[in-house]
Amino acid sequence: MTTAVSLSAEAIADRVRDAQTRGARLRIAGAGTWLDAGRPVGSSEELSLAAHTGITEYTPGDLTLTARAGTTLREIRDAVSPHGQWLALDPFGSDEGTLGATIATASAGPLATRFGTPRDLALGLEFVSGRGATVRGGGRVVKNVAGFDLTRLLTGSWGTLGVITEATVRLHARPEADVTLAVSPSDDRIDVGGVRAALKRWPFVPLACEVVNDSLGRELGLGGEAVVFRLGGNSESVAEQRRAIAELAGGPAREVDPSVWRSLRAADDDATLVLRVSRAPAEVSAAWADATALTAPFASARVSASPARGIVRCATQAVGASIEQYASTLAGLRSRIVAERAPVHLWNAPPLARAADPLQSRIRDAFDPQRILNPGILGERAVS
């Protein structure tokens, strides 16, 4: 049974309470573009927020916006860009994803280098807990410490504590200049650690900086391995940033079409396995090496790194026997691995399989004791 809820938060709460009474389990959905992410969900019914849309509050001068959870990032972009503003969230996928899902999954893309992740941009939430209670956390203003921080608790909880029904986010004014540059390595090996060292040395922070491997670089029309920078600020500042990048590259970097970011975000559409390999930022080279080792058997594997954050993403179409290969390489790595999407049985292989954290289970118990919402998606223990 699928129902697109268009009525109210109250209607959503009714659905949850109804499920509670019947012992049903709900799979929450936004636009449904990324439902195969996370561990397998054992649900009998879908609760779609795709029709729960609309911006409910937007005063440009406040640089905040409140929207119902099913509102897409595109709708938000279209509403705020005439005012020279943006919601600085560019999760992998596309702007067709919903605000609720982006926050629920804490999805972040290249812009996180400068603006952080949803936890830094979400100011307040309304959600329906697994108990069917309508709860508000945080507020609609940029600063707020009233009560315990339910907003951050819900951000990245993958729908397991509550169905997000509305969110208030912080917006930013668009920078005067917004330029995308690509640098290709002069020799055949890209130095991710060197990029990170430069970022640390520079007195400015780019809007985004991603290192892409050969196959991803080709796909993006960059010819091969490359470092892609997105620079923002006033024109003088951007001119200086260009100069610093030219120094790093040993010559002027080429300006590329900004659509490269959209392509980069959409590249993993067909991937069956997306892993985030991370270390402390100073060890990003080691994380890159681990990601390279992981993807070595797969010719078309796409690897990209956010050097400032010490995070490397790798995506492949792992199938059949190749999965066994993955599992054995994965088990030997020292990096932290977070899976964004994986074939069912890989979730049970180390290091993806994980023991339930008792404190986290207690939090789940407090908000959704019957495990009604997205059961299993975080690998949490089931209750019978």
Partner 1 sequence: MTSSRGALAPASPPPAIDRSLADRLAAIVGDKRVLFRPSELLTYASDALPSYHKQPGLAVFPGTRDEVVAVVRELARSNVPFVPRGAGTGLSGGALADGAVLVGLNRLTRVIAVDPENLTATVEPGVVNAALSRAVAPHGLHYAPDPSSQAACTIGGNVAENAGGPHCLKYGVTTNHILAITALLPNGEIVSLGSASGETDGYDMVGCFVGSEGCFGIALDITVRLTRNPEAVRTILADFLSLDAAARAVTSIVATGIIPAALEMIDQATIRAVEASIYAAGYPTDAAAALLIEVDGADAGLERDVATIESICNSSGARTVRVARDEAERARLWQGRKKAFGAMGRISSHLVVQDAVVPRTKLPEVLDKVRRIGEDLRLRVANVFHAGDGNLHPNIAYDANDPDESARVQTAMHAIMRACVDAGGTITGEHGIGIDKLQYMDLIFSPDSLAAMCSLRDVFDPDRRSNPGKVVPMHSCREWHGARSARQDAAKGPPVA
Ligand X SMILES: Cc1cc2nc3c(=O)[nH]c(=O)nc-3n(C[C@H](O)[C@H](O)[C@@H](O)COP(=O)(O)OP(=O)(O)OC[C@H]3O[C@@H](n4cnc5c(N)ncnc54)[C@H](O)[C@@H]3O)c2cc1C
Distance set, CA 31 to CA 97, 101, 294, 308, 315 (Å): 6, 8, 31, 31, 22
The token pair at 114 is 């400068």
The token pair at 243 is 């100069």
Q: 259: how many CB neighbours lie within 10 A of its CB?
A: 11
Q: 49: how many CB neighbours lie within 10 A of its CB?
A: 27
- Contact stretch for ligand X (CB under 6 A) within 34-42, 75-83, 208-216, 352-360: 34-42
Q: Which of ligand X, partner 1, none sits in contact with 74, Cβ below 5 to 8 A by type?
A: none
- Contact stretch for ligand X (CB under 6 A) within 95-103, 219-227, 251-259, 343-351: 95-103
- Is 141 a binding residue for partner 1 by CB under 8 A? The answer is yes
Of positions 20, 33, 237, 272, contacts ligand X by CB under 6 A: 33
Least spacing, CB of residue 10 vs ligand X, in Å = 15
Cβ 360 vs Cβ 340: under 8 Å: no
Exposed, middle or buried, 27 (CB in 10 Å: 0-12/13-18/19+)?
Answer: buried
- Is 98 a binding residue for ligand X by CB under 6 A? The answer is yes
* Binding string, residues 154-173; x marks residues near partner 1 by CB under 8 A: -xxx---x----------xx
Of positions 16, 125, 164, 183, contacts ligand X by CB under 6 A: 164
Least spacing, CB of residue 245 vs ligand X, in Å = 26
Q: Which of ligand X, partner 1, none sits in contact with 64, Cβ below 5 to 8 A by type?
A: partner 1
Tokens 């970097």 identify what position? Answer: 253
Complex with ligand X: residue 121 or 248, whichever CB lies closer: 121
Complex with ligand X: residue 176 or 269, whichever CB lies closer: 269
- Kindly identify the residues of this chain, within the stretch 14-53, that bind partner 1 according to CB under 8 A: none
Of positions 86, 158, 261, 326, contacts ligand X by CB under 6 A: 158
- Return d(Cα 66, Cα 181) in angstroms, integer: 33
- Return d(Cα 286, Cα 311) in angstroms, integer: 11
* Binding string, residues 207-226; x marks residues near ligand X by CB under 6 A: --------------------
- Kindly identify the residues of this chain, within the stretch 58-77, that bind partner 1 according to CB under 8 A: 59-64
- Return d(Cα 165, Cα 157) in angstroms, integer: 14
- Contact stretch for ligand X (CB under 6 A) within 118-126, 226-234, 246-254, 268-276: 268-276
- Return d(Cα 113, Cα 71) in angstroms, integer: 25
Q: Which residues contact 307 (CB under 8 A, 6 or more apart)?
A: 192, 193, 195, 196, 199, 209, 211, 281, 284
* Binding string, residues 358-377; x marks residues near ligand X by CB under 6 A: ----------------x--x
Q: How many CA atoms lie within 13 A of 381 on its CB side?
A: 12
Q: Which of partner 1, ligand X, none sits in contact with 153, Cβ below 5 to 8 A by type?
A: partner 1
- Kindly identify the residues of this chain, within the stretch 79-108, that bind partner 1 according to CB under 8 A: 84, 106
Least spacing, CB of residue 134 vs partner 1, in Å = 6
- Contact stretch for partner 1 (CB under 8 A) within 223-231, 249-257, 314-322, 363-371: 363-371
Cβ 123 vs Cβ 170: under 8 Å: yes
Complex with ligand X: residue 33 or 237, whichever CB lies closer: 33
- Kindly identify the residues of this chain, within the stretch 242-271, that bind partner 1 according to CB under 8 A: none
Reduced to 3 DSSP states, what percent helix, strand and coil does the chain have, rounded to the nearest 5?
35, 25, 40
Of positions 321, 355, 359, 382, contacts partner 1 by CB under 8 A: 359
Q: 187: how many CB neighbours lie within 10 A of its CB?
A: 6
- Kindly identify the residues of this chain, within the stretch 54-93, that bind ligand X according to CB under 6 A: 69, 91-93
Q: How many helices (H) and strands (E) does the chain have?
A: 13, 18
Dihedrals phi, psi of 247, to nearest 5 degrees: -65, -40
Q: Which residues bind ligand X (CB under 6 A)?
A: 28-35, 38, 49, 69, 91-93, 97-98, 100-102, 104-105, 107-108, 158-159, 163-164, 268-269, 274, 340, 374, 377
